[in-house]
């Protein structure tokens, strides 16, 4: 079963950012099972026709909770005649967490922490007025959450000029990065998709919903599309990334 699984998903990179950016493989394997289900006992293994499966690295594909396991199984049951990994963001994320994060979570937490030093929500436009207002509308509540919940005050900058953040503020938020590999992997994915560790951590604590976080991450892009029109190719790529974002949200809500 491991060989079949590798044939579907290939040798996925263990780096979470690279895994999140994988493109669909052109040759899709024919569906080789009738039913996907979840086994008993924690962790809850994915079963294909009653048989457990392995991740590309040879680990058992299993979820920390039954509801999350059911969500992963639902992706497999939703496949048609051929298995399309592009439509299985939750399974891809699970592979990344089990193979790449669980064995060594520290570097992933460190990468999230680095975003706090140059977070998206701290870099503001000075013009036009409408964009300035849109950024404030979506980003100020995130900064207010960090300030009110963690006592962390972040410094704003206009344009792309780097501004150093107070060490105490970064440290105060950094300690909230969870050690659990499933939550850590989901937060890392949201961080890389949005460019903001603050947005990701606000999602993890339910300060922001997935839709709110996604809108906050695309203020500039949405503003440009309003001015210059829709870019259908860019929107298609964005839809793929949003599916990954939703998968991360599912992990955060169901992994506990």
Q: Hey, what CATH topology would domain 106-254 get? A: ATP12-like fold (1.10.3580)
Give the pLDDT score at 160.
83
Give the pLDDT score at 157.
96
**Beta-carbon contacts of residue 90 (< 8 Å; ≥ 6 apart):** 71, 72, 75, 247, 250, 251
Domain 2-85 is found in CATH 3.30.2180.10: yes
Q: Which ranges in the chain are annotated with CATH 3.30.2180.10?
A: 2-85
In 3D space, the residue among 12, 180, 4 whose CA is nearest the CA of residue 91 turns out to be: 12
Cβ atoms of 93 and 189 within 8 Å: the answer is yes
Give the pLDDT score at 241.
96
CA distance 256 to 245: 18
**Beta-carbon contacts of residue 42 (< 8 Å; ≥ 6 apart):** 64, 65
CA distance 146 to 130: 25
Give the pLDDT score at 5.
53
Specify the pTM. Answer: 0.89
Backbone phi, then psi, for 154, in 5-degree steps? -105, 145
In tens digits, what is the pLDDT along the chain, a chain of 256 residues?
A: 555 555 566 555 444 444 444 444 458 999 999 999 999 989 999 999 999 999 999 999 999 999 999 999 999 999 999 999 999 999 999 999 999 999 999 999 999 999 999 999 999 999 999 999 999 999 999 999 999 999 999 999 998 899 999 999 999 999 999 999 999 999 999 999 999 999 999 999 999 999 999 999 999 999 999 888 888 888 899 999 999 999 999 999 999 7
Give the pLDDT score at 7.
58
| Three-state secondary-structure class, residue 113 | helix
Q: Which ranges in the chain are annotated with CATH 1.10.3580.10?
A: 106-254
- Neighbouring C-beta atoms of residue 74, cutoff 10 Å: 13
CA distance 40 to 62: 10
Q: Is the peptide bond before 43 cis (omega within 30 degrees of 0)?
A: yes
Radius of gyration of the CA atoms of the chain, in A: 19
Give the pLDDT score at 108.
98
């Amino acid at each position: 079963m491991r060989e079949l699984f590798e044939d579907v998903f290939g040798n996925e990179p263990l780096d979470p950012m690279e895994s999140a950016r994988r493109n669909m493989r052109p040759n899709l394997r024919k569906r080789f099972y009738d039913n996907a289900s979840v086994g008993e006992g924690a962790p809850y293994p994915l079963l294909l026709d009653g048989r457990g499966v392995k991740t590309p690295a040879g680990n058992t594909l299993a979820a920390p909770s039954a509801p999350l396991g059911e969500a992963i199984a639902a992706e497999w049951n939703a496949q048609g005649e051929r298995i399309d990994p592009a439509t299985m963001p939750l399974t891809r994320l699970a592979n990344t967490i089990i193979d790449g994060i669980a064995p060594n979570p520290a570097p992933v937490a460190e990468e999230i922490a680095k975003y706090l030093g140059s977070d998206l929500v701290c870099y503001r436009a000075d013009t036009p007025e409408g964009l300035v207002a849109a950024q404030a509308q979506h980003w100020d509540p995130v900064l207010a959450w960090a300030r009110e919940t963690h006592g962390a005050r972040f410094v704003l900058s206009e344009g792309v000029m780097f501004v150093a953040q107070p060490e105490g503020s970064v440290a105060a938020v950094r300690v909230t990065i969870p050690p659990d590999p499933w939550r850590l992997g989901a937060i890392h994915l949201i961080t890389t998709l949005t460019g903001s560790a603050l947005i990701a951590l606000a999602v993890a604590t339910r300060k922001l919903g997935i839709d709110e976080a996604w809108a906050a991450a695309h203020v500039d892009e949405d503003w440009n599309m309003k001015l210059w029109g829709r870019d259908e190719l860019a929107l298609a790529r964005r839809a793929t990334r949003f599916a990954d974002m939703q998968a991360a949200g599912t992990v955060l809500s169901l992994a506990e």
